[in-house]
Amino acid sequence: SLARRAIASSRVRIIVVSRLKRAIALRGAEAVLAELFRGARPPGRREPPLIESAPPARAYFALVSYRQERLEGDDSGTTMDAAALASIADVAHAAGLEGIWLDACCFAAVQNKYDHDSFVATLAAVTQHASEVIWLPRARTASKASSYQFW
């Protein structure tokens, strides 16, 4: 169908696992987390960007599922803590994944204005082509573990 061909030919933004692991090792998970959720690369950065656009049917990536949690009074925009990001990077690396897809970084952070149709099309491509799912029971160390939920 036309819809399936559109999904198959689309591109999604994924966080490249090897770059994520290197960035965490060099700058620390807290700094990398802030960079990802800001959606902008600091000026003067020489290494390749953490996020790249890829055809979902050809990328070996995981969808990361977790209960987004923003802290009251925190204007950073992050929905998880640095420990969660480091854990995701470790699991993805151990699984041999090329990339991970976090909606808050790979979709929401690049949109000037939320476009639901675009989000649904992107989510359809991601769920159709993700090779794995990484599920976090909590987004922050101090949070209570959440029960299983699927959209």
State the DSSP code for 109.
G
Whether the pLDDT of residue 1 is over 60: the answer is no
Token pair listed for 44 = 């003067």
**Helix and strand numbers, DSSP H then E, in the chain:** 6, 5
Distance between CA 54 and CA 38 in Å, rounded? Answer: 21
Average pLDDT for the chain: 80
Residue labelled with tokens 């700058």: 27
pLDDT band at 2 (very low <50, low <70, confident <90, very high): very low
**Per-residue pLDDT, 135:** 87
pLDDT tens digits for range 121-132: 888 889 999 999
Please name the residues in contact with 65: beta carbons below 8 A apart, sequence gap of 6 or more. Answer: 133, 134, 135, 136, 150
pLDDT tens digits for range 13-57: 999 999 999 999 999 999 998 888 876 666 676 778 899 999 988
| Residue among 79, 91, 89 nearest 25 (CA) | 89
CA separation (Å) from 89 to 32, 50, 51, 92? 11, 12, 13, 5
